[in-house]
Structure 1
Amino acid sequence: MKQTRHPEPDEMTLIEVMRALSDPIRVGLVRVLADGRERGWGELRAPVAKSTLSHHLRMLRDAGVTRTRQESTRCFVELRRSDLDTRFPGLLDAVLGAAHGDDVGGQVALASDADDPTG
């Protein structure tokens, strides 16, 4: 099984992290993952094709924003909040605060949230 490479915190660059956070779908994924729980890729709902969602998740992983783990045929993803807060103090909180205020990425949800009509 191929091991996925994740940059160490000192390898993360502001440019790559900001590039990863420059798309509303990716910001939405970060918002969903900000609860600190690891999520299966199948739990994530976004208004894009599965291949495009995979691309967005890869962009976040390659920048160091998320960590991906494969277990058999399933993939799981989690936000690397601690690493991001250590490397870029306050950045993630600022991005999440602005994203919530402007509803950036609000179209991304968990499958359980998307199925719940009460929102």
Structure 2
Amino acid sequence: MRIGELARLTAVSERSLRYYEQQGLLEATRTPGGHREYPPASVDRVIRIQELFAAGLNSATIAELLPCMRDADGGPAADATPWLEQELIAQRDRLDRAIGDLARSREVLDDVIKAATNR
């Protein structure tokens, strides 16, 4: 499928799809006319990439994780390793720390607001 169709099916911009390709997250072949051609499995791949970005991971981490993740049909990825679970847990722990830091910052700000408004 061409880039426009992949963009339509995944609700991801063509610009983002080109970025994913540039970052090694997505692969396309080229037609003789130079157009990108994506295999049908690219739909699931783009959705997985979007999920990982939404989880707060950066493109370098996603590139490292994708080869280890299960295929869309639930089968194991060719390179699945125990490392994948450990890395995902580490990413979740990083988010938990960030949430804790933000909660503490909010508490400090609440104290500042209280002191500033004498409430």
TM-score by length of 2: 0.28
Comparing both chains, which one has the higher relative contact order based on Cα–Cα distances under 8 Å and sequence gaps of 6 or more? Answer: 1
Bigger Cα Rg: 2
